[in-house]
């Protein structure tokens, strides 16, 4: 691997429960890793005790809050938006060309398919090599702003369902499951900056806004991550979600792009959730090679 990259785990109030770090160790990752916390976190010293001062980066939350539209007038800064934006500057300051931003509550990174294209749930054991492949893909086109792993929820219905989709797509010569959404695990190029915004649902609102202008945010299928239920893990954003519910969270996306998003009852999750109409959300532009002479 020739690329200079690191991993950032954004965290708040979970100094004794950064699950993702343990998961990365199980997946064989031994490269540069930093815990990113804001200066309003009461557990900063605990983070430093647990992970070492050189491995904990503290950013000024108010400074970054002033840089973007929070899309509300609530007087609190309970959001991951500012930590995600700070990672671009932290990576640049530390001299990394690429970086991966992760939340702190991932329990596993698993291969979605085996070498034969069949469904799999085998734990990733060479995480650095996986990162190298994703960064190669990210760098292949300047229009790609960020690439993400698939979430475990994407394969509700079982891996047999995914396997069937994969085989059908392969027969048609289509690489399967490259979706225009991007959530949770953000592979980024330091020089290809973009800004997350809005207090809640910032990942959805970011890929919707930039996607509607022709930029690419992509979810790839090869690796999926498993995560603790957002409202079931103390600290982080759990308090914010419990206080306002997913209805309020989802409605930020309706405000951002009402022509392409709505709030609906999700039968799989048994809760209100945003739903995106991709026919309305992003442009579909044919390559110049298809133009008639």
Mean pLDDT for each 10-residue chunk of the chain (293 residues)?
86 97 96 97 98 97 95 88 98 97 97 78 93 93 94 67 53 55 94 96 94 92 85 54 71 93 77 85 80 78
Q: Which two tokens stand for residue 30?
A: 């031994």
Domains (range + CATH), the chain:
5-283 (3.90.550.10)
Give the C-alpha separation, 146 to 136, whole Å. 12
Cα-flanking dihedrals φ and ψ of residue 43, to 5°?
Answer: -105, 20
35 with 259: CB under 8 angstroms? no
Supply the pLDDT for residue 173.
45
Cα-flanking dihedrals φ and ψ of residue 209, to 5°?
Answer: -65, -50
Supply the pLDDT for residue 124.
96
Supply the pLDDT for residue 156.
61
Report the b/e string of 212-249 with b at 16+ CB within 10 A. Answer: beebbbbbbbebbbebbebeebebbbbebbeeeebebb
122 with 213: CB under 8 angstroms? no
Cα-flanking dihedrals φ and ψ of residue 172, to 5°?
Answer: -90, 0
Q: Is 250 helix (H, G, I), strand (E, B) or coil?
A: helix
Supply the pLDDT for residue 171.
47
Q: At which residue do the structure tokens 């989709």 appear?
A: 165
Predicted structure pTM score: 0.86
Q: At which residue do the structure tokens 């085998």 appear?
A: 122
Supply the pLDDT for residue 246.
73
Give the C-alpha separation, 210 to 282, whole Å. 9
Calculate Rg over the CA atoms of the chain: 19
DSSP characters for 54-108?
GGEEEE-HHHHHTTS--SS--S----SHHHHHHHHHHHHHHT-SEEEEE-S-EEE
Give the C-alpha separation, 187 to 195, whole Å. 14
CA atoms within 13 A on the CB side of 244: 18
């Amino acid at each position: 691997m020739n690329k200079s990259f690191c991993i950032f785990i954004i965290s708040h109030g979970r100094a004794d429960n950064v699950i993702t770090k343990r998961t990365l160790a199980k997946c064989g990752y031994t490269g540069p890793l930093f815990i990113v916390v804001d200066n309003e976190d009461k557990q900063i010293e605990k983070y430093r005790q647990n992970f070492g001062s050189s491995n904990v980066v503290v950013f000024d939350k108010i400074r970054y809050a002033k840089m973007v539209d929070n899309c509300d007038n609530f007087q609190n800064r309970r959001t991951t938006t500012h930590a995600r934006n700070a990672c671009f500057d932290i990576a640049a300051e530390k001299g990394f060309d690429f970086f991966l931003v992760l939340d702190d509550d991932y329990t596993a990174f698993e291969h979605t398919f085996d070498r034969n294209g069949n469904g799999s749930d085998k734990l990733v054991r060479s995480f650095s090599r996986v990162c190298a492949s994703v960064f190669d893909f990210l760098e292949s086109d300047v229009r790609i702003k960020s690439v993400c792993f698939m979430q475990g929820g994407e394969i509700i219905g079982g891996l047999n369902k995914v396997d069937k989709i994969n085989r059908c797509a392969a027969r048609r010569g289509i690489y399967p499951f490259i979706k225009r959404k991007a959530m949770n695990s953000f592979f980024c190029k330091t020089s290809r900056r973009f800004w997350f915004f809005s207090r809640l649902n910032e990942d959805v609102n970011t890929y919707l806004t930039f996607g509607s202008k022709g930029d690419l945010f992509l979810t790839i299928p090869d690796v999926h991550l498993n995560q603790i239920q957002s409202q079931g893990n103390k600290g982080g954003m759990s308090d914010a979600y419990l206080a306002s519910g997913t209805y309020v969270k989802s409605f930020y996306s309706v405000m951002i792009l009402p022509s392409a998003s709505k709030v609906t009852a999700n039968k799989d999750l048994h809760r209100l959730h945003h739903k995106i109409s991709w026919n309305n959300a992003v442009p579909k532009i044919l390559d110049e090679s298809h133009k008639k002479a």
